Structure 1
Amino acid sequence: MVRRDTTDSPRRRIVEAAVELLEKGGPDAVSTRAVAAAAGMQPPAIYRLFGDKEGLLEAVAEHGYAQFLENKRARLDPEPRDAVEDLRRGWDMVVEFGISRPELFAVMDRATGREAAMAHRAGLEILHGRVRRLAAGGWLRVEEELAAQIIQATGRGAVTTWHSTPAARRDPALLTALREAMVTAVTHAEPTIPRAEAGPAAAARALRAALPDDADVLSDAELHLLREWLTRLAADRSATQA
């Protein structure tokens, strides 16, 4: 059971102040002095309650896991009609959390404390429940433990890749593709995106990839314009079918 603080306890005030500073300025913003000031307390209170900054960050991770599990359990369907869609929803929820709260997600991912470990196991129990329902329904393609590992790895990989990609180049289609690759890897269900694509968009991608850096037939301006047209065609979802 993840430890819960009473609403107005000094510990909770400090942890919530630390979370706010973390999400605004990253780990460097979570100094004991800054956290104490934000919580309306004196720095010695942090040392008394958490020992040091690392202890405080462990408490932040526990707080994050508690929030995440509460949300996960609130949205959990104990007897879903469609186990595969339930898997998709669960995967999406984890990835959404990691994308929307990157600093907190990173602290949770690095946590090694007992409370964080217990919360992590509680989350895994929910995941294994989903995998067991897939197996019971005849959907599972691989062993349950491997399926759980694939689901975790693709979710974590999706979050990591999203945040390591410059904002201007982030494409939500990546998340859908990774999720459906996971579904295909662990179940017998058909993906919700086409396995193969035909039409102008696919042709545009192929031609764009084949274009040389310099083409004698075209001027630099013409080559630049052609690449712009091909990029727009390649990204056009309505042009994916011939």
Structure 2
Amino acid sequence: MSTRARILEVAADLVARSPDGDISTRAVCEAAQVGAPALYRHFGDKEGLLSAVVDHGFDQYLATKRRRGPGADPVQDLRDGWDSHVDFALRNPNLYRLMNSPAMRTPPASALESHRILTADLERAAAQGKLRLAPELAAQIVMSANVGVALMLVSRPSTFTDMSTSTRVRDAVHAAIFTPDVATAGPATDEARVPPTAARLNALLRQSPHSPLSAAETGLMREWLDRLSNAPTSFSA
């Protein structure tokens, strides 16, 4: 293994095990058993090292996208791309936070490539008449929302506990960029009316100063209505 590869491997391991994702060049040099001049010769500075770590880790995620050919349905490719992006973030939280850190003044090459892949899928959707915005603008909207959801899930797991949040945001964003025939599954069904009805009843119960239910019954009713309001159903899958 070359000196550069050893330094990179050690740095990636330290980032993954760090409580906050931060590492020092001294710790990297000690673990890789190299002097500081060797690290700076290969990576320039700490930012260059961290950028290389991000590219090294995210390259594994992008490899699957490079290998797959475009599917017949670009919209499904975009749905799958969103989900795989979030899955990568959840499996590599420190690396993902590092990739999107303001401290990274120069965007890693992997981030730029990911954006190009997204834009290409949107261009295919536009060519099929399924996009209501220019692909470049749609790509900015999708990437902003995708990264935002992923960062919240990995940075605030105690607050963002419902994993269906990602799917719901994805579908809302897609409804904004795709033509109505693509974004909607058809007319509302009785099943589709359950969540908004439950949410409305729950809100009315919270606003009502008087209730024939006991405190325990009210708590249980609200729990049931929350479940009905939030539970994914076939119409929103």
TM over 0.5: yes
Residue 8 of structure 2 is aligned to residue 15 of structure 1: yes
C-alpha distance 40-109 of structure 1, shift in aligned 2 (>3 A): same
Q: Which residue of 2 aligns with 1:35?
A: 28
Structure 1 residues not aligned, in runs of 5+: 1-7
C-alpha distance 56-91 of structure 1, shift in aligned 2 (>3 A): same
Percent of pairs identical after alignment?
Answer: 38
Residue 111 of structure 2 is aligned to residue 120 of structure 1: yes
Judge conservation of contact 1:233–1:239 (CA < 8 Å) in 2.
no
Q: Secondary structure at the match of 1:212?
A: helix
Q: Which residue of 1 aligns with 2:54?
A: 61
Q: Which residue of 1 aligns with 2:146?
A: 155
Amino acid corresponding to residue 46 of structure 1 in structure 2: L
Q: Give the number of equivalent residue pairs.
A: 228
Judge conservation of contact 2:10–2:28 (CA < 8 Å) in 1.
yes
Q: Secondary structure at the match of 1:167?
A: coil
The 5 Å alignment of 1:1-242 reads 8-27=1-20, 30-42=23-35, 45-74=38-67, 76-78=68-70, 80-110=71-101, 111-113=104-106, 116=108, 118-167=109-158, 169-188=160-179, 189-191=182-184, 197-199=192-194, 201-212=195-206, 215=210, 217-237=212-232
Output the CA distance in 1 between the equivalents of 2:155 and 2:110: 26
Output the CA distance in 2 between the equivalents of 1:120 and 1:229: 42
Judge conservation of contact 1:128–1:148 (CA < 8 Å) in 2.
yes
C-alpha distance 193-14 of structure 1, shift in aligned 2 (>3 A): farther
Which deviates the most, 147-156 or 17-26? Answer: 17-26
What is the root-mean-square deviation in Å for CA atoms of aligned residues?
3.1
Judge conservation of contact 2:97–2:151 (CA < 8 Å) in 1.
no
C-alpha distance 90-59 of structure 1, shift in aligned 2 (>3 A): same
TM-score by length of 1: 0.77
Q: What whole-Å deviation, never above 9, does each CA across 1:213-237 have from its counterpart, x for those lacking one?
A: 8746444334333333333444555
Amino acid corresponding to residue 53 of structure 2 in structure 1: V
